[in-house]
Structure 1
């Protein structure tokens, strides 16, 4: 690795830090809202950028491209269906969250159920962040950066030692961002890094196609479509994500991730009003549908180019990058990749500190603590959990089905029970706290039996769906047997303006249509195994474009008529869309 590569890496990494500091230097970080929610001043663009970069990190680049290398486009269901769940967040969950001015998801559960439910879900969040999310982000980032820069050779150490050094360095730098900068510094750096990640992430498949096509991108696309066409089949192609799981576990996991996961929703909690929150969430939903170009196509291209040379699927992405990216851009891309790792790590760490302070330390240990001291406690906790994650991360190296599959299967212990109680908390008025607690413990027990006792030939994502239905039934029965004495009624605390975005529903229609379009294109109905795939692509794209535009206009006209007919009706749930 030459001096220019190192210099450009340091330059771009430092540039992001300096810009983030400059923008946030006057922020008041001594208050609860200022440190944990960015002063409730985040705009749509910042929210979208932070959401995307919190999500699109090294574990995505490494894990999903590994799935593409070993399987096919079936794994794109994790990304493409995220658009639909972001629609749910924008139209249903976010207005409710902002109405009560919550800082954390467990705060809602305390208001809806009781302190015991809040404590259980907080524990689930903190365990998942400290034992799974933070270590996996560091491990995946360590693999990518270590391989990209050949750190072992640079430092003259073993691969295992170099991996630990990269993990430790990433953890320490990320900790400084999150611990001393608060949410706004994290969100601003996310947005800046997000632009670089989109540019760099799209550049890799283009360069890979150029190599595959012997200098021609179009020839590379032709090779990608006609050779091993099963790799582009998102419906029945090979892989560890069957198409049927979209309608069970994948939909549930994505609904949790985008609507209930503190690491994600905290960005939207910091919105200056509902309009900006909905913009950010739905902008992110539109972009997520296009993300497989970055997160799966490089892995498939690596299969075509270097399939026999790559020993493990999780090495596919960094192997491709190291061979197709010009040396002059290596430093820039390394900085972008490093920024993506920092983003996810910062976001998870900030969320962990927020929940510990708001849901554990203040209500249980010191109810009378002032905001300034509480922020200091959050920084101490963030430091501790950073050190813990650094030492746990290297232990993830032996995941048998690849990093991404490992992460999703383990996270089931935490995400599905949380989704059940949050969803039922909003959907029902008299379901009691005991129902929520029984449902959580039932899920954890049943999923443990599935993993370690009973040898069932059922995909874990289908098990999620089955257990989800069981948990919902448990809570409904509890509501019949022992209902709350008083029906739950949510209060509007007036923290932010709840006027909805005029284009929220029309944009949601576009997201839904784009999701269907992606699955039609990457199936035998579209370009897969079709000799005349170019003409089919143009015809299908044209039909979907016309239909989507028509639905967009019809939705906008109908809601405007409804808004004019009843201008005084409060539109909390997005029923009446007002102009900005």
Structure 2
């Protein structure tokens, strides 16, 4: 039984990283990299396969391998529901939410909120909330999950592993933008599916021996097809995560299902249990040489996929939703630099949060991840659903409903982290407040959603709704309107097309080749390459915007996609019913 990687494993890992690096660099050579549309939306030219693969890969980061497999090792098949329920939301994304977002012509969700509600409060709130959330329950969890795996596999120092992974991840995001993210995600998804399937099959064979039993699409059509593709991939969670986690518990019961806190601490330095190590232990002990390296590459791919998407989103939000509030006439070069600096800041803050996460949660990744989202996310979900379907939801109702929901959620989160549950088998009494011990995080999420909904509706009934002329193309009922929404002067913004007011700085003459080379390197890294371009006429800009916001679909394609969506929903429902 192997306890460490062999030379061939390191060779496989090296080859993988070289391949990913080449894909990332190749993607930076694509057109439109030097403007916000190209950098943040990949030029609106992506095929449904890479977009769907990117959606899938972005969602199955290291927490899915560590947390989901670990939870399966501890409690069995029930956790599969988390994955399968996501299929319904992915279909809803393609058929309900995306049409409105595309029609409104926005880059980010905060930008949509500005067009839907007007004013700046909600947009700024959601922007800062998103950036904090990236640190609190996205980037830090990804880093911690990856550290757990690398520590078990490579026996490296955790922070050395973290720094190396973040440098490569940030490099891809900073240099390539969303196009680099999507193309590398496509490669990583292939590696992930192949190697995880191999592990599942090999694990099933060993089980049998013991107990005799195992988001920039081209158009609306590609956008819908991408969500369906991602939905199908989500159904593989049972094979990729759940079953391997259960197999690991069967094969290595003494380690993964340690009977008492003392033995757990000896194996994984965690008195609460070692189920989080189910997947890493299975990889290092079961797979042969070479395949161990491939699986490690797949897990690092999952980590990097999620990290690149998160960092790109954070960069977009800071640039388009916050910075331009203070610098409305900022040139494209300045926006590019701000986006890249945002990536670096998010990385640094997430690393600083890592020790707090490690000490507070004792490695219980999955429940930390789900609990903290249950405390903070429901108000935002209510906001988008009501904003999409109820035209009378006002800015005041939305804003103060968000504030109330945030206060209630933070109170519950503080109580949850202040009063820890007694260790299993310790015999200690549960002295936590009833709101913590009697109401789990999923039930609390439902309660918080109802409280927020009531507050938003009640306040909106006593405040003036937004006029219909300002709701064109920003709700489900107005998504097909021909006219753009009427915006006041303080709400007008450039929506991502190259601005005619871009400040053109005089190009200084450099005296020697060395300075010229340094200038070219700086321009390439910062995205400030000056490309000759002609000024668009109002008619040309109108045609460009019409193309980017079009919801047109050929009748044949629409029918095929609708039938596929129905079949996927029926299949998912059958799976849930069978395994319930």
Q: Which TM-score applies when normalising by structure 2?
A: 0.77
- Which ranges in structure 2 are unaligned for 5 or more consecutive residues? 257-263, 265-273, 416-432, 474-481, 483-544
Deviations 1:270-308 (A, max 9, x none): 111111111101111122122221121111111111121
Question: What's the C-alpha RMSD, in Å, of the aligned pairs?
Answer: 1.7
**CA distance in structure 2 between the aligned counterparts of 1:427 and 1:47, rounded to whole angstroms:** 27
Find the counterpart in structure 2 of residue 462 from structure 1. Answer: 443
Deviation at 1:332, TM superposition (A): 1.8
Find the counterpart in structure 2 of residue 297 from structure 1. Answer: 243
**CA distance in structure 2 between the aligned counterparts of 1:358 and 1:286, rounded to whole angstroms:** 32
SS at match of 2:254: coil
Aligned with residue 141 of structure 2, among 127, 130, 136:
136
Deviation at 1:424, TM superposition (A): 1.1
Deviation at 1:413, TM superposition (A): 3.9
Q: Which TM-score applies when normalising by structure 1?
A: 0.77
For the Cα contact (< 8 Å) 1:41–1:272, is it kept in 2? yes
Find the counterpart in structure 1 of residue 575 from structure 2. Answer: 518
The structure with the largest alpha-carbon Rg is 2
For the Cα contact (< 8 Å) 2:375–2:444, is it kept in 1? no
Alignment of 1:22-421 (within 5 A): 22-113=26-117, 114-151=119-156, 162-214=157-209, 222-223=212-213, 267=215, 270-310=216-256, 311=264, 312-363=274-325, 365-398=326-359, 399=361, 402-421=364-383
Deviation at 1:146, TM superposition (A): 2.5
More displaced stretch, 7-16 vs 349-358: 7-16
For the Cα contact (< 8 Å) 2:376–2:409, is it kept in 1? no
For the Cα contact (< 8 Å) 1:172–1:386, is it kept in 2? no
Find the counterpart in structure 2 of residue 442 from structure 1. Answer: 404
**CA distance in structure 1 between the aligned counterparts of 2:451 and 2:345, rounded to whole angstroms:** 37
Deviation at 1:136, TM superposition (A): 0.8
**CA distance in structure 1 between the aligned counterparts of 2:397 and 2:439, rounded to whole angstroms:** 27
**CA distance in structure 1 between the aligned counterparts of 2:11 and 2:363, rounded to whole angstroms:** 37
**CA distance in structure 2 between the aligned counterparts of 1:15 and 1:271, rounded to whole angstroms:** 24
Deviations 1:542-563 (A, max 9, x none): xxxxxxxxxxxxxxxxxxxxxx
For the Cα contact (< 8 Å) 1:58–1:340, is it kept in 2? yes
Q: 1:167 to 1:419 in 2, by over 3 A?
A: same
- Which ranges in structure 1 are unaligned for 5 or more consecutive residues? 152-161, 225-266, 524-580
1:490 equivalent to 2:472? Answer yes
**CA distance in structure 2 between the aligned counterparts of 1:395 and 1:60, rounded to whole angstroms:** 21
**CA distance in structure 1 between the aligned counterparts of 2:466 and 2:222, rounded to whole angstroms:** 37
Deviation at 1:24, TM superposition (A): 4.0
Find the counterpart in structure 1 of residue 565 from structure 2. Answer: 508
Deviation at 1:51, TM superposition (A): 0.4
Deviations 1:372-427 (A, max 9, x none): 22011111111122122223224322425820110111123432121111111111
Deviation at 1:362, TM superposition (A): 1.0
For the Cα contact (< 8 Å) 1:272–1:496, is it kept in 2? no
For the Cα contact (< 8 Å) 1:353–1:378, is it kept in 2? yes
Deviation at 1:333, TM superposition (A): 1.7
**CA distance in structure 2 between the aligned counterparts of 1:325 and 1:455, rounded to whole angstroms:** 46
| Number of equivalences | 463
Deviation at 1:69, TM superposition (A): 0.6
For the Cα contact (< 8 Å) 1:37–1:183, is it kept in 2? yes
More displaced stretch, 139-148 vs 18-27: 18-27
Which ranges of 4 or more aligned residues in structure 1 deviate by more than 4 Å? none
For the Cα contact (< 8 Å) 2:195–2:291, is it kept in 1? no
**CA distance in structure 1 between the aligned counterparts of 2:14 and 2:355, rounded to whole angstroms:** 25
